[in-house]
């Protein structure tokens, strides 16, 4: 069903999870284009380093699930990753899509007029946090004036390091269920945004985050009915595989 704006998120608070991953292969340019076509202003995407230090847009630490190739990111160069088909696994219509680099994606987002929540994945093959965050900084530094960037991560150290480099960017701490001391952990980054699993939302917590000026977005929710009771309590936004169900 579609939820009207009075009981739903603001249009710019609907983030397409891995692009519009319900209708196109996740974390591909096709998925970002589909998000724009659905009316989304923001996409969420996952980034990790290849063996030769290029940031690629992919959720897993291997290409096995989302491409025609096999192997771990830590054993594959960006050129090898780019050579795999990243679309046919989802649907034959998407044959020819590739696993994009972050740099290619930033360029495409500018053309599509989209902004991005860049989720920094921390994988075992990543050897240096410094390399990881400096590479993110270099890639997002080439964004178009039309593209806003925010950073999210399950790794507070990645957020701390990114905040040092880019203190003007919104940092979102990712938790399935926030810990008891969420306020202290956010302050240590520092961050003022929580991205949490929608099933862990509570009215009481949202009242507390609202009181403290903390934003909360919920992932990964594809059914607006699940969130209806939370918007009035201060839920800020939603990260969804299917943005059109929230955008109408």
Active-site positions read 17, 59
Q: Residue 127 to residues 9, 53, 130, 132, 226: CA-CA distances in angstroms?
A: 39, 10, 9, 9, 39
Looking only at residues 6 through 35 of this chain, which bind ligand G3P when binding is defined by CB under 6 A?
A: 17
Question: Which residue from 26, 46, 241, 242 is in contact with Mg ion, where contact means CB under 5 A?
Answer: 46
Question: Which residue from 13, 26, 97, 119 is in contact with Mg ion, where contact means CB under 5 A?
Answer: 119
Task: Region of 234 please: left (phi>0), alpha (psi -120 to 50) or beta.
Answer: left
Smallest distance from ligand G3P to CB 6, Å: 26
Other residues' Cβ atoms within 10 Å of the Cβ of residue 235: 23
Which partner in Mg ion, ligand G3P, none is near 152 (CB below 5 to 8 A by kind)?
A: ligand G3P
Question: Which residue from 78, 239, 245, 247 is in contact with ligand G3P, where contact means CB under 6 A?
Answer: 239
Other residues' Cβ atoms within 10 Å of the Cβ of residue 213: 7
- Regarding 241 and contact with Mg ion (CB under 5 A), the answer is no
Which partner in Mg ion, ligand G3P, none is near 174 (CB below 5 to 8 A by kind)?
A: ligand G3P
* Residue number with CB closer to ligand G3P (79 or 200): 200
Question: Which residue from 219, 230, 231, 246 is in contact with ligand G3P, where contact means CB under 6 A?
Answer: 219
Residue 214 DSSP label = -
Smallest distance from Mg ion to CB 207, Å: 27
Applying CB under 5 A, the site for Mg ion has a residue count of: 2
Smallest distance from ligand G3P to CB 74, Å: 18
The alpha carbon torsion through 115, 117, 121, 127 (nearest 10 deg) reads: 60
Length of the chain: 248
Which partner in ligand G3P, Mg ion, none is near 26 (CB below 5 to 8 A by kind)?
A: none
Applying CB under 6 A, the site for ligand G3P has a residue count of: 11
> Could you tell me what percentage of the chain is helix, strand and coil, using 3-state DSSP and rounding each to the nearest 5?
35, 20, 45
Residue span 43-82 as binding mask against ligand G3P, x where in contact by CB under 6 A, dash where not? -x-x------------x-----------------------
Q: How far apart are CA 85 and CA 94, in angstroms?
A: 9
Q: Which string of b and e fits 105-120 if b means at least 16 CB within 10 Å?
A: bbbbbeebebbbbbbb
Cα–Cα–Cα angle for 166, 191, 146, rounded to 5 degrees: 50
Looking only at residues 113 through 172 of this chain, which bind ligand G3P when binding is defined by CB under 6 A?
A: 119, 152
* Residue number with CB closer to ligand G3P (147 or 152): 152
Nearby residues of 128 by Cβ (< 8 Å), 6 or more positions away: none
Contacts to ligand G3P by CB under 6 A: 17, 44, 46, 59, 119, 152, 174, 195, 219-220, 239
């Amino acid at each position: 069903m579609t939820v009207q704006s009075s009981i739903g998120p603001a249009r710019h608070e609907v983030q397409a999870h891995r692009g519009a991953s319900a209708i196109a292969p996740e974390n591909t340019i096709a998925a970002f284009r589909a998000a724009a076509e659905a009316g989304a202003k923001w996409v969420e995407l996952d980034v990790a380093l290849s063996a030769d230090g290029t940031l690629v847009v992919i959720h897993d630490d291997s290409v096995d699930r989302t491409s025609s190739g096999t192997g771990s990111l830590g054993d594959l160069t960006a050129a090898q990753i780019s050579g795999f088909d990243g679309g046919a696994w989802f649907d034959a219509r998407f044959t020819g899509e590739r696993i994009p680099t972050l740099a290619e994606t930033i360029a495409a987002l500018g053309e599509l007029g989209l902004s991005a929540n860049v989720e920094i994945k921390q994988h075992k093959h990543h050897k240096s946090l410094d390399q990881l965050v400096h590479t993110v900084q270099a890639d997002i530094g080439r964004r178009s004036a039309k593209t806003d960037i925010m950073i999210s991560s399950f790794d507070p150290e990645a957020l701390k390091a990114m905040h040092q480099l880019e203190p003007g960017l919104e940092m979102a701490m990712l938790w399935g269920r926030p810990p008891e001391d969420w306020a202290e952990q956010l302050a240590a980054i520092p961050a003022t945004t929580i991205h949490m699993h929608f099933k862990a939302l509570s009215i009481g917590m949202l009242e507390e985050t609202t009181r403290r000026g903390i934003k909360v977005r919920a992932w990964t929710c594809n059914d607006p009915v699940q969130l209806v009771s939370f918007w009035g309590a201060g839920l800020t936004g939603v990260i969804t595989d299917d943005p059109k169900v929230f955008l109408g």
